[in-house]
Amino acid sequence: MMQLKDSALLRELAYIDGVWAGADDGARFEVTNPADGSVLARVPDMGAAETRRAIDAAAAALPAWRARTAKERAAVLRKWFELILENQDDLAVLMTAEQGKPLAEARGEVAYGAAFIEWFAEEGKRIYGDVIPSHGADKRIVVLKEPIGVVAAITPWNFPIAMITRKAGPALAAGCTMVIKPAEDTPLCALALAALAERAGLPKGVLNIVTTRRAAEVGGELSANPTVRKLSFTGSTEVGKLLMRQCAGTVKKVSLELGGNAPFIVFDDADLDAAVAGAMASKYRNAGQTCVCANRLLVQDGIYDAFAAKLAEAVGRLRVGPGLSGDVEQGPLINEEAVAKVETLVADAVGKGARVACGGRRHALGGTFYEPTILTGVTAQMRVAREEIFGPVAPLFRFHTEAEAIALANATEFGLAAYFYAKDIARVWRVAEGLEYGIVGINEGIISTEVAPFGGVKESGIGREGSKYGIEDYVEMKYLCLGGI
Active-site residue set? 257
* Maximum C-alpha span of the chain: 79
Closest CA to 372 of 389, 390, 363, 359: 359
Whole-angstrom distance, CA of residue 258 vs CA of residue 290: 11
Grouping H, G, I as helix, E, B as strand and the rest as coil, residue 207 is strand
- Site for ligand ADP contains 242 (CB under 6 A): yes
Nearer to ligand ADP, 72 or 337 (CB): 337
Nearer to ligand ADP, 156 or 288 (CB): 156
CB of 216 to ligand ADP, least distance (A): 4
Nearer to ligand ADP, 11 or 145 (CB): 11
Chain CA centroid to CA 184, Å: 15
Q: Is 465 left (phi over 0), alpha (psi -120 to 50) or beta?
A: beta
Select from 93, 168, 183, 200 the one that contacts ligand ADP (CB under 6 A). Answer: 183
Select from 34, 113, 156, 332 the one that contacts ligand ADP (CB under 6 A). Answer: 156
CB of 318 to ligand ADP, least distance (A): 23
- Site for ligand ADP contains 466 (CB under 6 A): no
Residues 207-226 binding ligand ADP (CB under 6 A) are 215-216, 219
**Segment contacting ligand ADP by CB under 6 A, of 35-43, 122-130, 237-245, 364-372:** 237-245
Nearer to ligand ADP, 118 or 221 (CB): 221
**Segment contacting ligand ADP by CB under 6 A, of 2-10, 131-139, 150-158, 292-300:** 150-158
Nearer to ligand ADP, 258 or 358 (CB): 258
- Site for ligand ADP contains 162 (CB under 6 A): no
Q: How many CB atoms lie within 10 A of CB 446?
A: 12
DSSP code of 265? E
Radius of gyration of the chain (CA): 23
C-alpha distances in angstroms, 94 versus 161, 179, 321? 10, 22, 17
C-alpha distances in angstroms, 406 versus 268, 300, 386, 395, 427? 14, 12, 15, 17, 11
Whole-angstrom distance, CA of residue 328 vs CA of residue 319: 5
Residues 243-302 binding ligand ADP (CB under 6 A) are 243
Whole-angstrom distance, CA of residue 177 vs CA of residue 133: 34
**Segment contacting ligand ADP by CB under 6 A, of 238-246, 272-280, 320-328, 425-433:** 238-246
Query: Which residues of this chain interact with ligand ADP, rule CB under 6 A?
Result: 154-156, 181, 183-184, 215-216, 219, 235-236, 239, 242-243
